[in-house]
Amino acid sequence: MQKLTLLLFFLGFVFASNAYSQSMVVKLWPNEVPGAILAPDYVENILPRGELQFIEKISSPEMLVYLAPAKNATKTAMLVCPGGGYKYISIVNEGYAMARWLNEQGINAFILKYRLPSDAIMKDKKIGPLQDVQEAMRIIRRNSSQWNIDPAKVGVMGFSAGGHLASTLCTHFSDSVYEASDGASARPDFSVLVYPVISMDDSITHSGSKEHLLGTQPDAALVVEYSNELQVTKDTPPAFLVHATDDTGVKVENTLNYYLALKKNKVTAEMHIYQKGGHGFGLGKENSTESSWPASCIKWLKVNGWL
């Protein structure tokens, strides 16, 4: 088993309740980041925007671990991929807030600070984020005993471009994009995709996410490869899908087409499409219809035996 570098530290973000707190930070690549280019001037930076924070220029990816309090802990785990157009990571509403909510449900949460695709730090930027999310899933399973997690109840959750990364893991979990240290599986047992970017097709994709991941003029074969609705098979993990019809940032057709691909391949899926909500609503605004998705998601997890 790969030896982890676990760095314990006090909370960088204070939850409203002290019952839910960050347990540790796990470096994904404690020795050498695969395919890395040394760039000393490429320094991680936090951009405050009102109540939100966006992290850019991540070159040393890590997981922020939030183990559920013992009083209500289950053996279920969720790897959380915040969005940000593959340019930033929206760490508050699609990271910290999700970890707190998941912990309240007894679910162990792992926020992924993945490398954002960049030619400055990566020899092949299109696979950098996939390397990180595959290794994160493997780390959770390697350490399932010490974290009291059932290795058959590990899911992935993604928002916007983080939803593209999560769905890429679901459809490319067996791709050999780096030399894994052991046989731990990178396949999620289930997925929760919220207003996700799924496709790289110009008619429905989020152009910023596509450009940051694949470049300005990607080869047609790459567009197909990273259009995850075209990569679904019978082995793709089940999905809980959430989107708003009036989302002008990421078109709802991303979710619709992924659902239809899952249905065609007889993969369990549940889809919630809301009349309004726009993009980036996270857990949803109070008294809005899209705010009902978290409760529906928990019911879905319970019905299917993952919680």
pLDDT digits (tens, 9 = 90+) for 197-229: 999 999 999 999 999 999 999 999 999 999 999
pTM of the model: 0.93
Indicate the residue type of 179: E
Contact by Cβ (8 Å): 201, 251: no
265-273: average pLDDT: 98
Non-local (6+) Cβ contacts of 24 within 8 A are 6, 7, 8, 9, 65
Separation between Cα atoms, residue 105 and residue 39, nearest integer Å = 41
Q: Which domains does the chain have, with CATH numbers?
A: 6-303 (3.40.50.1820)
Confidence of residue 20 (pLDDT cuts 50, 70, 90): low
How far is the C-alpha of 241 from the C-alpha of 201, rounded, in Å?
19
Q: Taking CA 170 as the corner, what is the angle to CA 260 and CA 226, rounded to the nearest 5 degrees?
A: 75
